[in-house]
Structures are given as C-alpha cells and as structure tokens.
Amino acid sequence: MTRGYLIPIGGAEEKIRHAKILRRFAAIAGGEDARIAIIPTASRMEDTASRYESLFNDFGVGTVDSLPFEARSDCKNPEYLQVLERATGVFLTGGNQLRLSTTLGGTPVANLIRERHRTGGLHVAGTSAGASFMAEHMIAGGEEGSTPRSDMVTLVPGLGLTHAMIVDQHFRQRDRLGRLLTSISYNPRPIGIGLDEDTAAFIDPQYRLEVVGSGALTIVDPSELEFSSMDSAKRHDPVCLINIRLHVLVEGGTYDIETRVARPAATAPEPAE
C-alpha cells in the first residue's frame, strides 16, 4: 500500500552524456531489477519509443517494453495490461498531451496506472506532454507571456495521479508563467509547477519534491491568495492576483507540497581549519 514516485520532466532532457534525470528514474524504478513500460502515445515520431528503449537498456534496466497505444481499443489489449501489471516504472514521452488524454482517458490503462501508482508503488515519469498529463487538471494549450489573462489557457482533465498540482513544461524557454498563473487563479487549490527544459521534479510518496537538472523549477503557491479578479475579468483582460507566493528552485532545492515549505539546496559545511 505504497504510493510511487511522480517525476514530471520539463522536456528536452539530456540524453547523450550523463542523462542524470533518466538514470535517476531508472534507479528508482529498480535499476537492474526494473521493469519499465514506455508509453509513446503523445508522439507522432516513429522512433520515439525505440530511442527511449535503447537509453534504458544502456542504463542496465532489467526489462523495457514499449506499449503502442494508438487507438482507444489498444487500451483493452490483455497483453499490454499484463505488462503494466508487472511494471515498476511507466515513462510517458513528449508530444501532444491531448493525444494522451483522448486515447488513454477513461480506459483500463488509465485506471490501472492510477491504482498501481496509488497503492502498488508504481513510479510514473513523464516528459513535456507526459508531464502535463499526470495531474488531475492538465494544461492543454495557451498563450505565451508573463501576465495572467482571463482566457489565456485551456484546462482539461488529466490522468489524475494527483490533485495537488498543475504542471507546465518548457517553462522559461516558452515564457509560460502567465498561463500557469491563469490556471491557478481559476480555483486556487493546487500549486502550480513550471519546469524548465532538462529539469525534473522528483516527488516522493510523502509529496516531498526535489529538483534535478540544469534548469529551474518555478512553484506558484496560492495558499495565501487574498484577491483574484478572475471572476470579473472580461475576455483577454489581465487578471489581478494579490499575495500569491512564487519560488524558483534549482538543482538540489526541495519543496514540501503538504506544508508548502521551500528550501534551497543544502550547502556543504565549511572545511575545518
């Protein structure tokens, strides 16, 4: 009865040299004993699954399987479901998150991943579109810019592995602060997580988050929000948000999603004289 790790990745994770993020996911999933199931549904590129298969095999992962869910009927395939039953880790590739939600949503595959993550210790990682799809609410699209606006973002139901956050990716590279703020302002219950490229949030079963990668992770915390003009804003109007908290964390930084406490990376002690 153990919840697995959640590992959203901001996209364009480093794969050639150290591949720090992917290697750490593989280790958490069991290393040599890991059984990783790759779900390339979001991607239209034919070699997406094979590239990740090669990477995980190179890391020494015990078993790597690709599950080509191209149509909703594929999500009832008993052989694919058996692979997910045995998996210790699931990896959702990048691409188009609406392909994920429209293909997997409401199917035995989605139900099985949710149940095994919640009580069976299944670790789930996703990059780019795969990261956005993880949570209860998913950003399906939106505009660039730093200022939140009333109609800046489209939200749809996601996979539902957590209701505690909304995830956005390619964050700094595509100037997505405004659409994350807009997403949170509709109903300021979850936190917002904005992931730069080659940056991941490793979220443990106790909902403690650690940043890994070369970029930054932006956290929008609305728990102390005093005022939002979202209810009265006209179409494309800017939205006023008062007393919303924002943290920017880099590698080694941590955040407790339950207590809403952020900490920088631990610094090494000064050497004794």
Of 101, 128, 132, 228, the catalytic one is 128
Which CATH number does the domain 6-263 belong to among 3.40.50.2300, 3.20.20.70, 3.40.50.880, 3.40.50.850? 3.40.50.880
Of 123, 137, 170, 247, the catalytic one is 170
Percent of the residues in the chain that have a pLDDT greater than 70, as a whole number: 97
Q: According to the model, what pLDDT value does residue 266 have? A: 86
> How is residue 140 written in tokens?
């399906």
Q: According to the model, what pLDDT value does residue 139 have? A: 98
| Nearest-angstrom CA–CA distance, 215 and 131 | 16
| Nearest-angstrom CA–CA distance, 11 and 9 | 6
pTM summary value: 0.96
- Taking CA 92 as the corner, what is the angle to CA 41 and CA 52, rounded to the nearest 5 degrees? 90
Q: Is there a catalytic annotation at residue 73?
A: no
Task: Using pLDDT thresholds of 50, 70 and 90, give the confidence band for residue 89.
Answer: very high
Q: Is there a catalytic annotation at residue 197?
A: yes
pLDDT at 137 over 90: yes
pLDDT at 48 over 90: yes
| Nearest-angstrom CA–CA distance, 25 and 252 | 16
Q: Is there a catalytic annotation at residue 137?
A: no
Percent of the residues in the chain that have a pLDDT greater than 90, as a whole number: 96
Q: Where are the domains of the chain?
A: 6-263
Interval 38-57 mean pLDDT: 97
